Amino acid sequence: MLRDTVDDELRASGQRLLAAVAEHNALGLAAAHIGEVLPIVAVGDGTAPVRILYNPRITGTAAEIAKGDEGSVSLPGIRVEVERPVWVDVVYMDEGGRPVSERLTGVLGRVAIHEIEQMQGIFFLDRVSRLKRDMALRKARKLPG
């Protein structure tokens, strides 16, 4: 799934992903949210512009864990407390295809883990207990829309 470079297809998808983040007022999204199976995620923390990470990989995480509220545009109105490492090391490519290695912390780190896992087919509800997951799904079915 990861690519050796960033080509025009990935850059165009990155722009569509940024537009979707703005439309949904999200902190992050994976390309799957816009119907594309590409190695791209958008990540932000609500204080700085959202960034596109091309071909992202998690290369390390903190041993220290923190709880935080998470949701998904796939389940609007549903928020669940999820335990995540307090920082994550990621390797990705920028828009020009240059490699970047970075440690992301706080909300930005949480969003990066959430979206990179989503890109890999791991939904955030897979990271909570069965009871929490079932409660969230029941609540989602009861919401209008």
| Catalytic residue (choose from 64, 70, 102, 115) | 115
Distance CA 120, CA 48 (A): 25
Q: 81 catalytic, yes or no? A: no
Q: What are 38's two structure tokens? A: 């590409």
Q: Is 69 helix (H, G, I), strand (E, B) or coil?
A: strand
Question: 134 has which bridge partners?
Answer: none
Q: Cβ distance 16 to 52 under 8 Å?
A: no
Question: 57 has which bridge partners?
Answer: 91
By annotation, the residues acting in catalysis are 115
